[in-house]
Amino acid sequence: MLVIRRDLVEELVAHARADHPREACGQLLGPEESDRPERYVPMTNADDPDAQGSDYRFDSREQFAVYKEATERDEETVVVFHSHTRVPRRPLTDSGLPEAYPSVKDIEYMGLQPGVHFVIVAITGPDSDYDLRSFLLDDAGEVVEDDVQVVENYMFSHTGAGDVPDRS
């Protein structure tokens, strides 16, 4: 289950729209072992923009700079985000949007980050509707879809973090 603040969802969707038709990517950081995303860091998509199709890859130097800062702040990556845009190889679903489901390549890389949620935002254009889904891999390497709960703030949601009171 992924509990995420609405303003963070809006940041992800805005980034996906701004970069369309290229895939947008980024990460949500939060306190270590909290499973609670607190801030969004958009990442440069370093995948070759001239390559066929649209993939994403974090810029490795930028990734290191973000990692270093996060470590100093006792933060870690809670969510890796990328968008699925409208490209010929990706069929549209009945909703008219690309499928917000991990590709074979997505799953290969998901396996490198156990416990991290992978959020996909599917859009067809800068002004289109969107579909947001979240996944992680279980211990057997199978894709499991998260139940996504969008909240206004974490104080009144069941985040599971010990230092945040749950609503009684």
The site for another protein (CB under 8 A) is made up of 23, 25, 27, 43, 47, 53-58, 60-61, 63-64, 67-68, 80, 82, 102-106, 108-115
123 burial level (CB within 10 Å; 0-12, 13-18, 19+): buried
Q: How far is the CB of 106 from another protein (least distance, A)?
A: 4
Contact 150, 159 (CB under 8 A): no
**Beta-carbon-side half-sphere exposure of residue 153 (alpha carbons within 13 Å):** 5
Q: How far is the CB of 10 from another protein (least distance, A)?
A: 22
Nearer to another protein, 77 or 157 (CB): 77
Nearer to another protein, 7 or 108 (CB): 108
Nearer to another protein, 116 or 154 (CB): 116
Nearer to another protein, 35 or 55 (CB): 55
Q: How far is the CB of 114 from another protein (least distance, A)?
A: 6
Q: How far is the CB of 152 from another protein (least distance, A)?
A: 29
Nearest alpha-carbon partner for 24 in 39, 40, 35 = 40
Q: How far is the CB of 145 from another protein (least distance, A)?
A: 16
CA torsion through residues 119, 23, 91, 137, sign? negative
Nearer to another protein, 14 or 107 (CB): 107
Rounded to an integer, what distance in angstroms lies between the CA atom of residue 117 and that of residue 68?
A: 20
